[in-house]
Amino acid sequence: MKKTMLLSAAVATSLVANSVAKQAEEAGLKPIPNSQKELMKLIDNPQNPITDAKVELGKKLYFDPRLSKSGFISCNSCHNLSEGGDDGLEAAVGHKWTVNPHHLNSPTVYNSVFNSIQFWDGRSPHLEDQAQGPMQAAPEMAATKEHVAAVVSSMPAYVDAFKKIYGNDVKITLAKVADTIAVFERTLVTPSRYDDFLNGDSKALTAAEQEGLKTFIQVGCATCHTGVALGGDLNVFNVVNKYKYNDVGDFKGDANGMVRVPTLRNIDQTGPYFHNGMIKTLSEAIKEMGRVQLGADLSSKQVQEIETFLKALDGRKPDITMPILPASTDKTPLPDIN
């Protein structure tokens, strides 16, 4: 009798989980595939295919501060892979300790490959294009195209690596460097227990996390935070009410007032929140997003349920070994902190 009761309870639990997973699918939520073949279909760029050699070279360039004018700032400075893939600051800090003039928060690089567009205003179509921006932006790495090309071309180890990957006649340019960094960034995906759940493991999420997922869907969060990224597309901001920190910084979205919806993956590790980093806690971010976008005064219970689910989005990060960079030569441009 006891065994029958336990079996019945397990069946009931499985049925509930299947129901929640079905609701998620109907809401447009999609998992990171557990098949490497299927994952590659999502993250690879046929015009810039992923190879092991490109990933390794891209990783070195990602961590190399000499690409910046000062020789001090690397991609990893603002997109720190040892934590949430961002910098933990309200607004990005770059060359000469310059705070982003628009008071924009650094988005996470983890899972950025799943975004349909890049940057807060969506002005960049893909990672290869996006990677060119920060290197040249005066408040960020403040380099020129010529500086980046000269730095990389000055080191035989880099030159040899580019030739092996792209051919002996390769011309090292900022665009080619950005392409290579983007390949590395395309591999920075973090599947989580949430993905395991949507991929069929009914026990991957606790009952409380499943309840949070249901609340997340029912109140309307999945309207914008959808797809594999749980975000990543452009959407209208300040839909129902005005964001309480809307006047911090001058960013108002693209020409149509559209803002890229941030991914919710690893959201527990990527505060502070919103485009200007003015919301410090995840619970406050949930409450404010409900008010601004949904016109909903979410209860403490709803906020807690959603937060419990969102914490289940903390993913398994790729194992990244700090690269050993090639030595500078007498041809390598000297750091310029001015």
Cβ partners under 8 Å of residue 152, min gap 6: 61, 67, 158, 159, 162, 172, 177
Please tell me whether residue 321 adopts helix, strand or coil conformation: coil
Known binder of ligand: residue 135? Answer: no
Measured CA to CA, the distance from residue 246 to residue 190 in angstroms comes to 31
Consult the annotation and say whether 1 binds a ligand: no
Does residue 210 come out as left (phi exceeding 0), alpha (psi in the -120 to 50 range) or beta? alpha
Are 188 and 110 in contact by the 8 Å Cβ rule? The answer is yes
At 29, the amino acid letter reads L
Would the annotation count 78 as a binding residue? yes
Measured distance CA(211)–CA(214) in Å, rounded: 5
DSSP letters, 269-309, are GS-SBSTT--B-SHHHHHHHHIIIII-----HHHHHHHHHH
Q: What is the DSSP letter of 192?
A: B
Active site residues: 140
Q: Is 275 within any annotated ligand binding site?
A: no
221 a known binding residue?
yes
The answer to whether 102 is a known ligand-binding residue is no
In terms of phi and psi (left: phi > 0; alpha: psi -120 to 50; beta: otherwise), the region of 47 is alpha
Is 75 marked as a binding-site residue? yes
Residue 79 among known ligand-binding residues? yes
Show binding-site residues for heme c: 75, 78-79, 95, 221, 224-225, 289
Show binding-site residues: 75, 78-79, 95, 221, 224-225, 289
